[in-house]
């Protein structure tokens, strides 16, 4: 019988987590001990993003990413490189580029240098992240504004040349939204039509306690797999808090910070909600197991609830409970549900 997540899922798909700098530095080593025990895939939560990798033009900093690689090697874990070309967490020099020749050179240097540096050691790269808007159009990022859509295929081509053994993914959120999905499919087909390598699509699983529906998640897994690529669930967490975007007439710029209805569980998650979260995770993993032939990996976006980015997004200072381990690193009911559903298989 399985006594870890990675053990429970080893015949089906990789089971991963995000790892951040603070967790590596913890003197208690609670996060790293738990990661080594439970997971067999690792994604840097922040440290491989462009602002950290190339803070100054032509001056790369691999200090933190090397630590992550060393941790992964020590524990025999698959590493996901996250992420090469993304509109967020950009260094200032890159955001400021307006010239096409300069932008092409910058992309070429960034992608080639980093992918070659970890050649043979990174299992897959999130080559391009979040390039599509919810309405299906391409995001007006600095890359798009300077180069148009060609930067996308070009980035994949550069990554393929720099490390032919790494698998290359497109990664994005709201991937169950049908309009966005159509845009992503259109974009991926364009890459494929140019005979440029793309191996997979990452569906960020930043989901909620009651949305998206299992049926909508399933339709998307099938639609992406129909492109002939692998599907990874890349950033899984399930928020139990109300989203201000869902509120009637809500304006995200409004100050919600001291509004108790937006932070309903400041101290402890009531038992009924623990159970609801466990059921939600059970249903989600049951679906993943049904489509195990299409799914390469499922990665949680964090280890324990205290360290989740969701405590501060989209409202600062809330208390969310999105992961499988509580604030003391103890497994929650949701953890057991994820193990149980694999055992039933």
The single residue of 64, 161, 235, 344 carrying the catalytic annotation is 235
Q: E strands, the chain, where?
A: 14-19, 41-44, 78-86, 124-129, 167-172, 200-203, 206-208, 230-239, 295-300
**Contact between 235 and ligand G3I per CB under 6 A:** yes
Smallest separation (angstroms) from ligand G3I to the CB of 101: 29
Among 32, 65, 176, 204, binds ligand G3I (CB under 6 A): 204
Separation CA 339–CA 282 (nearest Å)? 9
- Choice between 146 and 310, CB closer to ligand G3I: 310
CA separation for the pair 244, 226 (Å, rounded): 34
89 binding ligand G3I? (CB under 6 A)? yes
Q: Is 243 in the site for ligand G3I (CB under 6 A)?
A: no
Nearer to ligand G3I, 199 or 235 (CB): 235
Residue 79 CB, nearest distance to ligand G3I (Å)?
Answer: 15
Q: How far is the CB of 45 from ligand G3I (least distance, A)?
A: 5
| H/E run at residue 337 | helix 333-344
- Is the separation of the CB atoms in 164 and 117 below 8 Å? no
Count of residues of this chain found to bind ligand G3I when the rule CB under 6 A is applied: 8
CB of 89 to ligand G3I, least distance (A): 5
Hey, which residues between 115 and 134 contact ligand G3I (CB under 6 A)? none
Q: Pick from 10, 12, 46, 55: which binds ligand G3I (CB under 6 A)?
A: 46
* Helix, strand, coil distribution of the chain in percent, nearest 5: 45, 20, 40
235 belongs to the catalytic site: yes
Residue 46 beta carbon to ligand G3I: minimum distance, rounded to whole angstroms: 4
**Among 33, 88, 137, 165, interactor with ligand G3I by CB under 6 A:** 88
Minimum separation from the CB atom of position 197 to ligand G3I (A): 22
For the segment 282-311, give every residue that binds ligand G3I (CB under 6 A).
Answer: 309
Residues 280-284: contacts with CB under 8 Å, at least 24 apart: 280/209, 280/210, 280/238, 280/334, 281/238, 281/324, 281/334, 281/337, 281/338, 282/337, 282/338, 282/340, 282/341, 283/214, 284/205, 284/207, 284/214, 284/217, 284/236, 284/238
Site string for ligand G3I, 157-176 (x = CB under 6 A): ----------------x---
Angstrom distance (rounded) from CA 136 to CA 127: 19
Exposure b/e, 45-61, CB count within 10 A at least 16 = b:
bbbbbbbbbbeeeeebe
Q: Is 329 in the site for ligand G3I (CB under 6 A)?
A: no
Residue whose Cβ sits closest to ligand G3I: 309
Nearer to ligand G3I, 34 or 339 (CB): 34
Q: Of 299 and 341, which CB lies nearer to ligand G3I in the complex structure?
A: 299
Do residues 72 and 41 make contact, with C-beta atoms less than 8 angstroms apart?
A: no
Dihedral of CA atoms 336, 339, 344, 345 in degrees, nearest 10, equals: 160
Is 320 a residue that touches ligand G3I (CB under 6 A)? no
Task: Give the interface with ligand G3I as residue ranges (CB under 6 A).
Answer: 45-46, 88-89, 173, 204, 235, 309
Active site residues: 235
């Amino acid at each position: 019988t399985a006594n870890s997540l990675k053990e429970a899922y080893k015949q089906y798909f990789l089971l991963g987590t995000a790892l951040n700098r603070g967790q590596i530095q913890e003197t208690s080593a609670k996060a790293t001990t738990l990661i080594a025990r439970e997971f067999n895939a690792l994604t840097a939560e922040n440290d491989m993003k462009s602002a950290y990798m190339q803070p100054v033009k032509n001056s790369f900093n691999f200090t933190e990413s090397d630590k992550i690689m060393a941790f992964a090697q020590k524990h025999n874990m698959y590493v996901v490189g996250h992420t090469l070309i993304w509109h967020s967490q950009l260094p200032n020099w890159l955001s400021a580029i307006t010239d096409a020749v300069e932008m092409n050179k910058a992309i070429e240097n960034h992608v080639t240098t980093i992918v070659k540096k970890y050649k043979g050691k990174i299992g897959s790269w999130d080559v391009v992240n979040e390039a599509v808007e919810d309405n299906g159009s391409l995001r007006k990022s600095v890359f798009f504004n300077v180069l148009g859509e060609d930067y996308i295929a070009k980035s994949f081509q550069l990554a393929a040349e720099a490390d032919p053994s790494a698998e290359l993914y497109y990664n994005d959120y709201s991937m169950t939204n049908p309009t966005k999905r159509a845009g992503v499919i259109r974009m991926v087909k364009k890459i494929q039509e140019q005979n440029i390598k793309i191996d997979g699509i990452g569906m960020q699983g930043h989901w909620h306690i009651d949305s998206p529906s299992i049926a909508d998640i399933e339709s998307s897994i099938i639609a992406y797999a129909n492109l002939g690529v692998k599907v990874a669930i890349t950033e899984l967490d399930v928020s139990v808090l109300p989203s201000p975007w869902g509120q009637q007439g809500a304006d995200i710029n409004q100050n919600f910070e001291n509004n108790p209805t937006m932070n309903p569980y400041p101290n402890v998650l009531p038992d009924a909600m623990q159970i609801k979260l466990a059921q939600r995770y059970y249903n989600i993993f049951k679906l993943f197991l049904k489509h195990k032939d299409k799914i390469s990996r499922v990665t949680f976006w964090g280890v324990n609830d205290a360290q989740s980015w969701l405590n501060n997004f989209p409202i600062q200072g809330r208390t969310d409970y999105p992961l499988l381990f509580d604030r003391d690193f103890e497994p929650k009911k949701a953890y057991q549900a994820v193990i149980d559903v694999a055992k039933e298989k």
